[in-house]
């Protein structure tokens, strides 16, 4: 009788233990599933972050490129201005003595163009005429790089 009770107790304990173990496994399984979902979501967030960073880097590179291009064309305008004064050892002073009226007219024309260049640099929108200028006779010779976007020097 005692042995029988002992075995019944043993079986009951084993069954209860098995039941608890299965329950624990189910609980662990649920936690693992939740973890997997969280990990997937974290990976997706990381990928979005990496994509956004890539996009930012591209934008930064583009902005730098645009800025360098602008600085370089503006530098060229300045060099062209220097050439206009000193091309082939030109002496503007002597020219002005020899052809006073003509140089005065050229100076006033260039001054008006340079004034317009400052307006453009300060944000003034380009006129149709400035945008469509493609010939040397149509451009603003003081700052073609900013005043005449369609002009290609020839």
61 binds another protein (CB under 8 A): no
Among positions 33, 92, 136, 149, the unique one binding another protein when judged by CB under 8 A: 92
Number of residues that bind another protein (CB under 8 A): 41
Distance CA 74, CA 71 (A): 5
96 binds another protein (CB under 8 A): yes
Among positions 31, 63, 72, 149, the unique one binding another protein when judged by CB under 8 A: 63
Shortest CB 14 distance to another protein, Å: 37
C-beta of 93 vs 153, nearer to another protein: 93
Q: Which stretch binds another protein (CB under 8 A): 15-23, 29-37, 116-124, 132-140?
A: 116-124
In sequence order, the 6+-apart residues with CB closer than 8 A to the CB of 67 are none
Kindly list the distances between the CA atom of residue 135 and the CA atoms of 47, 59, 83, 124, 131, in Å, as whole numbers in the listed order: 50, 34, 20, 22, 11
Residue 105 token pair: 């007219």
Distance CA 35, CA 39 (A): 6
Binding site for another protein (CB under 8 A): 59-60, 63, 66-67, 70-71, 74-75, 77-78, 81-82, 85, 91-93, 96-97, 100, 103-104, 107-108, 110-112, 114-115, 117-125, 142-143, 146
């Amino acid at each position: 009788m005692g042995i029988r009770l002992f075995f019944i107790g043993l079986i009951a304990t084993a069954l209860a233990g098995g039941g608890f173990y299965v329950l624990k496994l189910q609980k662990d399984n649920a936690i693992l599933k939740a973890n997997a979902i969280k990990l997937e979501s974290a990976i997706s967030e990381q990928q979005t972050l990496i994509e956004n960073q890539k996009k930012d880097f591209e934008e930064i590179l583009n902005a730098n490129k645009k800025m360098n291009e602008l600085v370089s064309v503006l530098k060229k305008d300045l060099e062209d201005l220097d050439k206009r004064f000193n091309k082939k050892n030109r002496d503007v002073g002597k020219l002005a003595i020899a052809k006073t009226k003509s140089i005065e007219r050229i100076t006033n024309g260039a001054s008006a163009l340079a004034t317009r260049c400052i307006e453009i640099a300060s944000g003034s929108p380009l006129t149709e005429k400035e945008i469509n200028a493609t010939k040397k006779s149509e451009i603003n010779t003081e700052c073609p790089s900013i005043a005449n976007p369609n002009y290609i020097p020839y």
